[in-house]
């Protein structure tokens, strides 16, 4: 998942998604699989997942993380599936402590930069663009949790 190079928005310009956007996860697991990408995690997220799996942080890091420059990312299977995507059920094995990047999808800087970016997101995520209407404020809380 490449990080976007965002253009600063003029403060007096209403964002294109000011009226909110729809999203309701179908649990299809597509956003946890597919083309290789990164799920970046910090120390607090690492500790939370290690705790959920009843492992030490060292064990967790050795088994489930990799260095990407100065950052740490979850490892993947060779086909691009996240290491925590349960192969049969396609559910997340660390759902309660899943990283911010996972919790805030599909409301990321990179998916919301333009209406065209959101349209592309709706094409890869069956839950984006349908179901519950998230208000602008709800979207912004998620988007601002982490720059993705």
Contacts to ligand SF4 by CB under 6 A: 25-32, 39, 74, 82, 84-85, 92, 94, 98-99, 102, 105, 125-127
User: For residues 105 and 134, which CB has a smaller minimum distance to ligand SF4 in the complex?
Assistant: 105
User: For residues 20 and 126, which CB has a smaller minimum distance to ligand SF4 in the complex?
Assistant: 126
User: For residues 9 and 123, which CB has a smaller minimum distance to ligand SF4 in the complex?
Assistant: 123
Minimum gap (Å) between residue 36 Cβ and ligand SF4: 12
Minimum gap (Å) between residue 112 Cβ and ligand SF4: 15
Tokens of 10: 């003029």
Minimum gap (Å) between residue 118 Cβ and ligand SF4: 13
**Contact in structure between 73 and 39 (CB atoms under 8 Å):** yes
User: For residues 17 and 94, which CB has a smaller minimum distance to ligand SF4 in the complex?
Assistant: 94
Distance CA 121, CA 112 (A): 9
Minimum gap (Å) between residue 13 Cβ and ligand SF4: 28
Token pair 């956007």 is found at 21
Minimum gap (Å) between residue 34 Cβ and ligand SF4: 9
User: For residues 8 and 87, which CB has a smaller minimum distance to ligand SF4 in the complex?
Assistant: 87
Token pair 């290491």 is found at 83
Q: Provide the Cα torsion 78, 35, 132, 27; round to 10°.
A: -20
Q: What angle do CA 26, 88, 127 make, to 5 degrees?
A: 10
In 76-135, alpha helices (H): 100-104, 109-112, 115-124
């Amino acid at each position: 998942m490449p990080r976007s190079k965002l253009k600063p928005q003029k403060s007096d310009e209403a964002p294109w998604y000011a009226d909110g956007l729809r999203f309701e996860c179908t649990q299809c697991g597509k956003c946890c699989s597919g083309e290789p990408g990164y799920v970046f995690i910090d120390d607090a997220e690492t500790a939370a997942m290690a705790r959920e799996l009843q492992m030490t942080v060292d064990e967790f890091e050795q088994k489930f993380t990799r260095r990407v420059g100065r950052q740490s990312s979850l490892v993947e299977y060779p086909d691009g599936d996240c290491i925590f995507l349960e192969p049969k059920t396609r559910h997340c094995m660390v759902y309660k402590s899943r990283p911010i990047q996972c919790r805030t999808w599909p409301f990321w800087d990179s998916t919301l930069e333009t209406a065209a970016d959101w349209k592309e997101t709706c094409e890869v995520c069956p839950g984006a663009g349908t179901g519950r209407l998230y208000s602008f404020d709800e979207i912004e809380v998620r988007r601002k949790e982490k720059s993705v």
